[in-house]
Amino acid sequence: MYAKKYGKTIKLFLMDADPNGRMICELSNWNGKAYRIPRGKVKDCSDRQDLKSTSVYLLFGRAESSSAKPKAYIGEAENAYTRLAQHVSEKEFWNESVVFISKDENLNKAHIKYLESRLYEVALHANRYELQNANTPTRSNISESDQAEMEEFIEYIKILVNAMGYKVFEPLVNIALDSYQTDDIFNLKGARGASGKGKRTSDGFVVFAGTTVANNTVPSFPKSAQNLRNELIDSGVITQNTEEMSFNTDYLFSSPSIAAAVIMGRSANGLVEWKNELGQDLKSVETTEISNANNESHLKA
CB 209 within 8 A of CB 249: yes
Sign for the pseudo-dihedral over CA of 38, 74, 8, 24: negative
The whole-angstrom separation of Cα 152 and Cα 147 is 9
- C-alpha angle with apex 202: 157 to 237, nearest 5 degrees? 95
For the entire predicted model, the pTM comes to: 0.82
pLDDT, tens digit, 9 for 90 and up, residues 164-200: 999 999 988 765 444 445 558 999 998 888 999 999 9
pLDDT, tens digit, 9 for 90 and up, residues 217-229: 999 999 999 999 9
Task: Please check the confidence at residue 271 and state whether its pLDDT lies above 50.
Answer: yes
Closest CA to 95 of 39, 158, 166: 39
Residue 183, pLDDT score: 55
Count of all residues that appear for the chain in the document: 301
Domain residue limits, the chain? 10-163, 177-300
The whole-angstrom separation of Cα 175 and Cα 199 is 11
Element (H, E) at 140: none
pLDDT, tens digit, 9 for 90 and up, residues 77-136: 999 999 999 999 999 999 999 999 999 888 999 999 999 999 999 999 999 999 999 999
CB 126 within 8 A of CB 171: yes
Element (H, E) at 125: helix 109-126
The whole-angstrom separation of Cα 242 and Cα 220 is 25
Residue 2, pLDDT score: 47
The whole-angstrom separation of Cα 46 and Cα 102 is 18
The region that residue 43 occupies, defined by phi over 0 for left and psi between -120 and 50 for alpha, beta otherwise, is: alpha
